[in-house]
Amino acid sequence: MRDPVSVQVAGPLAPFVAGFRVRLELLGYAPQSRVGHLRLMADLSGWLGERGLDSSALSLQVVDGFVVDRRAVGHRDARSARSLRPLLEYLREVGAAPLPGQQRVAGPVEAMLADFASYLGHERGLAVLTIQRSTDLVRPFLAARVANGLLGLESLTAADVTAFILARTQSASPATVQRTGTALRCLLRFLHLRGVIGSSLVGAVPTAANWKLVGLPKYLTAEQVGVLLASCDLATAVGRRDLAILTLLARLGLRAGEVAALGLGDIDWRCGEITVRGKGNRHERLPLPTDVGEALVAYLSGARPAAAVGREVFLGMRAPHHALTRGAVTQLVARASRRCGLGTIYAHRLRHTAATTMLHAGASLEEIGQVLRHRHVVTTAGYAKVDHERLRALARPWPGETAWASSPNSADPRWWAARLSVVRGFAVHLHALDPAHQVPPRGLMPHGSRRTVPYLYTDREIAALIRAAGELSFPLRAATYQTLIRLLAVTGMRVGEAIRLDREDLDDEFGLLTVRGTKFGKSRQLPLHPTTTTGLRNYLNLRDRLLPDPRTPALLLSTRGFRLRYERLWETFHRLVGQAELASRSPQCMPRIHDLRHTFAVTNLLGWYRNGADVPAMLPRLSTYLGHADPKHTYWYLSAAPELLALAADRLDASQKELR
């Protein structure tokens, strides 16, 4: 039977068969598909009639019951509630079936979640999708409290709250655990406001460590992007749609959700612009490049389904032609990448690709941030990690001797405040367990924020340290400490980062050094000066000759073949300072190994000011090279040296005179 008109529907749904038949045709279903949906309607109508029900009883629970019975009698098609979606959407639209939000919530968990969702929407003003995610995340927490058909929240303790989050860490990603903690804190505040629990247990929710921008941005090369776009079959409607989506992602760096939300009215063909509906419901306009516009025209002029009802640009190619979701866009990219042999990549990789393409073409981080619509410069600064050519300008030459010669009660108040901070954190934990515990207030022991005065090494002083290291006992030990001092001086990396380096982290072919898992779990790549690459290669050759079978993959080795230990390293450096006859400049300014990092930063800043460079524009690159979590930490170096401060002041005076 292939004629939809020949399908007969009896029972309580019979009055709606004509309208549903027309709806299926308008949505673009093929005749055979319409027959299938009408037969399913006939089966549901008969099932309802046998139980004395009508269309008003089509709740989610009733639909699930029909599906279960259908499977039990051996039907091989339409075996899930999803098959009924076109019919249910039509019946709800004409008022014959209840809307999902109007259906009575079953069970104490769903009743509490419905109340919680109402609170999030009306009192917190959250978006529908955010509310749904929050309720889904805390549903297991409430479900675990059900006993004898009731929610036992009155006996909820801090230990229960902490145990739930800790259990989630075993099966969920750090990001999911972090979102779960946020949703749970919101639920606990809601329960406390409603009087369900006697005291707020928000403090009992552990904070999940989930640092952002920890890895290196992954991106596709121009050749790989070309292969990806060429994999779309332009002879088909699906291929033209996919090409338009991939071009938008790769050229403008849109997020998958922004592509899915793009509407026909968002494209201003006359002005050559598109309106992007981004995060936080922000609407921003971007220029429409020629190749993106051509791909959109090819899709809209002959590939977009004519039977589409909505105004979204990108739709599914099979009836009922719903708008693509964010997940559908992501999976579309994954299919295209596998099809052309690039492995499985997702939509956000193309956003990284757009950023790095602009970066390599000479765009500034500020310009890239405007295109990607970042709110904070620190987000865009993450892309500077792969700007190897500009970062390489920060690298210093590998120092040789000739090159550097020619070119308790007495405790600090900050220590007291640090100890009190640890005690306060423990007191917060105890307060969550028992509100009777007191928590020391913040600022109880003010100490002021004061950095140690950096000891800025001169070239001669660094050369003296290298000579002193060369006099250490054992050739490997001398070579290791000479290499360490030189490496810290030319890269500005932290001491801990240097001793954690493995041999495989050095790419001597491209002159790159990968620093992994540093502060806050971040990683970065340091382009090296050619002389530095040569110096490290010479050290490795000497090391392999003196110690061919080391006991660790570390780059810098002790005489026994182990990784260097920070405690022993500090003692040795202190001894080298004495041998090099370096004296303290004040009680607060003593030579430390960490000051090689400060010297590197200040040397670069001085060079920029002397050469008339745009220092504010360059600082994010220095911040990236140093591995700072935020560029604001790099601005501190402007006050680290009197000469640097004077140059900055002169630059400011000159700019003010120009304004006058």
What separation in angstroms does the CA of 367 have from each of 312, 354, 355, 361, 364?
Answer: 29, 12, 10, 12, 5
Helix (H, G, I), strand (E, B) or coil at 74: coil
Cβ atoms within 10 Å of 157's Cβ, excluding its own: 14
Distance in Å from the first CA to the final CA of the chain: 86
Residues known to be catalytic: 255, 279, 348, 351, 374, 383
DSSP single-letter state for residue 554: B
Q: Which of 186, 93, 102, 91 is nearest to 138 (CA)?
A: 186
* Residues 445/417, Cβ–Cβ less than 8 Å: yes
Could you tell me where the DSSP H helices lie in 340-474? Answer: 347-360, 365-372, 377-381, 388-392, 401-406, 413-433, 459-470
State the Cα–Cα distance between residues 556 and 627, nearest whole angstrom: 20
Which helix H or strand E contains 283, and what residues bound it?
strand 283-287
CA–CA gap between residue 273 and residue 286 (Å, rounded):
6
Task: Please identify which residue in the block is written with the tokens 């399908």.
Answer: 7
Give the number of residues written for the chain.
Answer: 660
Distance separating alpha carbons of residues 465 and 481, to the nearest angstrom: 9
- What sign does the CA torsion over 591, 596, 598, 600 have? positive
In degrees and rounded to multiples of 5, residue 514 shows phi and psi of: -90, 120
Amino acid (1-letter code) at residue 553: P
Distance CA 200, CA 158 (A): 9
In the block, tokens 């360059």 appear at 618
> Checking phi first, is residue 612 left (phi over 0); if not, alpha (psi -120 to 50) or beta?
left
β-strand 146-147 against 150-151: which pairing, if any? antiparallel
Q: In what order do the strands lie in the sheet with 506-507?
A: 506-507, 512-515, 524-527
Show the tokens assigned to 519. 């502060």
| Most distant CA pair in the chain, distance | 102
Q: How far apart are CA 477 and CA 456, in angstroms?
A: 25
Nearest to 145 by CA among 132, 133, 154: 154
The residue type found at 183 is: A
- The answer to whether the beta carbons of residues 25 and 34 sit under 8 Å apart is yes
Q: What is the DSSP letter of 451?
A: P
- At residue 95, the 3 state secondary structure works out as coil
Q: How far apart are CA 573 and CA 569, in angstroms?
A: 6
Number of other residues whose CB lies within 10 A of the CB of residue 23: 20
The CA dihedral of 218, 223, 229, 231, to the nearest 10 degrees, is: -110
